């Protein structure tokens, strides 16, 4: 290793890394020397136990130390690809092992007779023995390995790839785990240059390793016990950074000023008199919490989470009503044009056509200019829109409230744009909403800078939706039931994963399903809805479905949120295994909104996927919180909550399900910021948090 090499050195300073390799490494976020040390293994292979050949067992992963007995090569074909096969017999003092490698053209030159080596992999019974007589089979090795890890024995016996607990790293085209392992091991001496950023009292209280030892053992653990304590330190670090960032964001927002929006009995009584239904206890509590927040000049930053159909829109409507009554403007940010149009129509019914405007890309330029002009004026107005609200020329003079629907569809940058929407110094109160229930661990980490209101009750009279998994061979019975529902005047949805057919993905497309439904139900009005349709066409289809002119609507995931048709009682989901649990739960929530019993049919693509344990969860519960927990375990938070765009999708060691460590990290972060609000005494720690783009600055 070059003595001039530093943690900050670019990877091209390392031997064997040119521009092409550096470009490939950049895909793994490895651009500097330090990144090798901070790219931790995604798993480990325990190759530490050396097993004699006569003690091998099929199915076990084993490491064998032996000598090359013989080498043979032959050429064959795999389809049109010419294939080099390398057959090697490896012996130790107890027996012979057959090993096969493919297409490693450099390898035969390195496998001379008698050369000592390690090989490691999954043991198989030698299939060639079964094809021979007993006498002939006895002459062949009993076991074999295909494409095992190989490492030649050196004088110092310092193994990197075998004979130890071996790290397995993320890979990309042109960069193997073996390459990262080799580079990282050569760079281990530079670990001493990593500064210790975690305060000693915190390390002492939680019995955490020093950073040097933790990084070393995380890459090349001396034992499973040492690996465990090393990972405990690194898990704490990652979650501690998140907590510091969340608390700093929370503090920074609270130091700004917002418009005070008072509530009183007169406004409340008038609002409640407009509602044709009674609020649930959870809705009433959420309204009380929001009213309390809005009645202060400290900006509200509240997350309203509730299961499908729990009534979030009414709570948001109340907040908008209060702001408009006080003479201020409101921005409502929706993830899709379909949802924006629906919410604009709903708000207009309660707030009046003169108080609500729709701002989406499909609106004509002249109308957009007029809406933006009204927002910049002192008049009170509620603008419902999509990403069009986030354009640079959208400015307000008195926007007191911003509402974000399905907040996980938007990133930190979009929320920051809304925060800076006003031309003056005051920022809007922020109400974020999600229909994907959030487990408590995420409330403490990802959403640690928000106050949380939970709607955990369904409106009275709601019936649980009956959910069934239907195999391809059982669909006729389901179709008969669907036909009965349609003939009794009810309506239905059919969701498909794709708009068009795909050769790669063997699932039905929306267009294919649309044609199939027209054939199955010739006397039923069938409609088609997908994201590639023009806005006016989408609006026409939805209006017709709402009015009952379309009885069966075939759609893509565009109907995941916001569609409310009480007469719809059937939800069919084609290719159900292709959707996440939380998304399936959202689809299911499009039915069951009226007085009629509703049903959800999950149509997996194959008989094999019919028995999916993941899909079984939906048949066992309608509780979105249980479903969210299961989805989080199965898929990880990045896919469900859109966290990759928010700085939370890059945890390597920690888990956002690790409640115990999250709680400790939050307590320590709170104490540290109380003692040193801007981390002036901990500049290295401060820089680490800033580098992760979790906060822009501390002061």
Q: What digits encode the pLDDT tens for the residues 59-73?
A: 888 999 999 999 999
Position 644 scores a pLDDT of 47
Nearest to 117 by CA among 92, 100, 80: 92
Q: Is residue 325 part of a domain?
A: yes
Asked if the model's pLDDT at residue 504 lies above 70, the reply is no
**176 C-beta neighbours (distance < 10 Å), count:** 12
Position 695 scores a pLDDT of 56
Q: Is residue 534 part of a domain?
A: yes
284/358 same-domain check: yes
Q: Is residue 228 part of a domain?
A: no
Q: Is residue 676 part of a domain?
A: no
Position 645 scores a pLDDT of 42
Position 640 scores a pLDDT of 46
What strands, in cross-sheet order, belong to the sheet with 81-91? 124-125, 143-146, 96-102, 81-91, 61-78, 116-122, 149-152
275/417 same-domain check: yes
Asked if the model's pLDDT at residue 697 lies above 60, the reply is no
Position 641 scores a pLDDT of 47
304/406 same-domain check: yes
199/114 same-domain check: no
Res. 699 pLDDT band, cuts 50 70 90? low
Backbone angles phi, psi at 117, to 5 degrees: -160, 165
Q: Contact 60/210 with Cβ under 8 angstroms?
A: no
562/475 same-domain check: yes
355/209 same-domain check: no
User: What angle in degrees, to the nearest 10, is found between the helix axes of 659-675 and 224-254?
Assistant: 50
Q: What is the mean pLDDT of the chain?
A: 86
* Total count of residues recorded for the chain: 699
Q: Is residue 606 part of a domain?
A: yes
Q: What digits encode the pLDDT tens for the residues 79-135?
A: 777 888 999 999 999 999 999 999 888 899 999 999 999 999 999 988 766 666 666
Q: Is residue 226 part of a domain?
A: no
Q: Contact 346/321 with Cβ under 8 angstroms?
A: no
59/36 same-domain check: no
What is the CA 53 to chain-centroid distance, rounded? 44
Backbone angles phi, psi at 313, to 5 degrees: -60, -35
204/298 same-domain check: no
203/289 same-domain check: no
Please count the structural domains in the chain: 4
Backbone angles phi, psi at 349, to 5 degrees: -60, -40
Give the CATH number, domain containing residue 375: 3.40.50.300
Last residue in a domain, options 455, 489, 512? 455
330/432 same-domain check: yes
Q: Contact 567/491 with Cβ under 8 angstroms?
A: yes
Range of the domain at 128: 51-168
* 23-60: b (≥16 Cβ within 10 Å) or e: ebbeebebebbbebbebbbeebbebbeebebeebeeee
Asked if the model's pLDDT at residue 553 lies above 50, the reply is yes
Asked if the model's pLDDT at residue 458 lies above 90, the reply is no
Nearest to 516 by CA among 533, 532, 528: 528
Rounded to a whole number, what is the distance in angstroms from the first to the last CA of the chain?
Answer: 40
Dump the DSSP string for 123-135.
-EE-GGGGGS-HH
286/410 same-domain check: yes
342/444 same-domain check: yes
Q: Which residue has the higher pLDDT, 81 or 662?
A: 662
Tokens of 608: 């094999």
Last residue in a domain, options 570, 586, 621? 621
Q: Is residue 412 part of a domain?
A: yes
Q: Contact 59/122 with Cβ under 8 angstroms?
A: yes
Q: Is residue 656 part of a domain?
A: no
Tokens of 324: 């408009």
Q: Contact 499/510 with Cβ under 8 angstroms?
A: yes
Q: What digits encode the pLDDT tens for the residues 239-257?
A: 998 888 888 888 888 889 9
Asked if the model's pLDDT at residue 228 lies above 80, the reply is yes
Place of tokens 């031997």: 15
Q: Contact 349/320 with Cβ under 8 angstroms?
A: no
519 burial level (CB within 10 Å; 0-12, 13-18, 19+)? exposed
Element (H, E) at 228: helix 224-254
Res. 635 pLDDT band, cuts 50 70 90? low
Last residue in a domain, options 593, 621, 649? 621
What is the CA 118 to chain-centroid distance, rounded? 39
How wide is the angle at C-alpha 618 spanned by C-alphas 616 and 619, nearest 5°? Answer: 70
Asked if the model's pLDDT at residue 223 lies above 70, the reply is yes
């Amino acid at each position: 290793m070059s003595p001039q090499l530093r943690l900050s050195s670019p990877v091209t300073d390392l031997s064997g890394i040119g521009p092409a390799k550096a470009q490939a490494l950049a895909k793994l976020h490895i651009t500097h020397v330090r990144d090798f040390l901070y790219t931790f293994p995604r798993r480990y292979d325990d190759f530490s136990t050396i097993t004699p050949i006569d003690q091998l067992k099929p199915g076990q992963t084993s490491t064998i130390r032996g000598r090359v007995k013989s080498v043979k090569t032959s050429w064959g074909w795999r389809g049109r690809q010419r294939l080099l096969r390398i057959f090697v017999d490896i012996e130790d003092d107890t027996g012979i092992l057959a090993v096969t490698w493919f297409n490693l053209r450099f390898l035969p030159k390195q496998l001379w007779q008698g050369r000592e080596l390690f090989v490691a992999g999954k043991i198989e019974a030698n299939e060639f023995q079964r094809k021979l007589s007993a006498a002939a089979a006895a002459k062949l090795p009993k076991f074999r390995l295909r494409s095992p890890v190989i490492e030649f024995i050196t004088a110092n016996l310092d193994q990197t790839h075998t004979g130890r607990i071996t790290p397995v790293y993320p890979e990309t085209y042109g960069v193997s785990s073996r390459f990262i392992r080799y580079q990282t091991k050569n760079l281990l001496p530079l670990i001493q240059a990593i500064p210790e950023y975690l305060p000693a009292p915190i390390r002492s209280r939680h019995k955490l390793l020093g950073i040097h030892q933790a990084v070393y053992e995380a890459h090349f653990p001396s034992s499973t016990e040492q690996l465990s304590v090393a990972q405990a330190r690194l898990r704490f670090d990652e979650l501690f950074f998140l907590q510091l960032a969340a608390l700093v964001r929370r503090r920074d927002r609270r130091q700004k000023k917002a418009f005070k929006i008072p509530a009183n009995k007169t406004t409340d009584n008038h609002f409640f008199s407009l509602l044709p239904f009674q609020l649930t206890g959870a809705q009433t509590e959420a309204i009380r919490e929001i009213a309390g927040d809005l009645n202060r000049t400290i900006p509200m930053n509240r997350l309203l989470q509730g299961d499908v159909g729990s009534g979030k829109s009414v709570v948001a409507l109340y907040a908008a009503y209060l702001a408009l009554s006080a003479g201020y403007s409101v921005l409502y940010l929706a993830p899709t044009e379909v949802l924006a149009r629906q919410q604009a129509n709903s708000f207009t019914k309660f707030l009046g056509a003169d108080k609500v405007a729709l701002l989406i890309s499909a609106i004509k330029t002249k109308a957009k200019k007029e809406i933006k002009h009204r927002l910049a004026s002192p008049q009170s107005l509620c603008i419902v829109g999509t990403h069009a609200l986030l354009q640079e020329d959208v400015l307000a003079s008195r926007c007191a409230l911003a509402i974000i629907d399905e907040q996980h569809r938007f990133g930190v940058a979009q929320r920051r744009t809304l925060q800076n929407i006003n031309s003056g110094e005051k920022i809007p109160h922020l109400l974020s909403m999600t229909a994907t229930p959030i487990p408590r661990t995420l409330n403490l980490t990802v959403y640690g800078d928000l106050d949380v209101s939970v709607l955990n009750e369904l409106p009275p009279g709601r019936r649980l939706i009956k959910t069934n998994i239907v195999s391809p061979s059982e669909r006729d019975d389901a179709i008969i039931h669907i036909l009965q529902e349609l003939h009794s005047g009810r309506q239905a949805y059919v969701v498909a994963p794709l708009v068009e057919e795909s050769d790669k993905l063997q699932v039905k497309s929306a267009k294919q399903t649309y044609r199939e439904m027209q054939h199955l139900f010739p006397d039923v009005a069938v409609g088609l809805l997908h994201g590639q349709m023009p806005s006016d066409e989408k609006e026409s289809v939805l209006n017709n479905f709402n009015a009952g002119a379309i009885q069966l609507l075939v759609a893509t995931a565009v109907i995941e949120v916001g569609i409310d048709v009480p007469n719809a009682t059937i939800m069919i989901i084609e290719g159900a295994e292709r959707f996440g649990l939380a998304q399936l739960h959202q689809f299911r929530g499009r039915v069951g909104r009226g007085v009629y019993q509703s049903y959800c049919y999950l149509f997996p693509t194959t008989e094999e996927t019919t028995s999916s344990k993941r899909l079984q969860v939906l048949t066992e519960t309608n509780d979105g919180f249980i479903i969210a927990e299961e989805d989080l375990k199965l898929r990880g938070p990045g896919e469900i909550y859109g966290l990759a765009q928010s700085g939370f999708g890059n945890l390597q060691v920690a888990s956002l399900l690790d409640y115990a460590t999250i709680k400790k990290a939050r307590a320590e972060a709170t104490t540290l910021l109380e003692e040193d609000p801007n981390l002036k005494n901990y500049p290295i720690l401060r820089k680490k948090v800033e580098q992760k783009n979790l906060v822009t600055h501390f002061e």
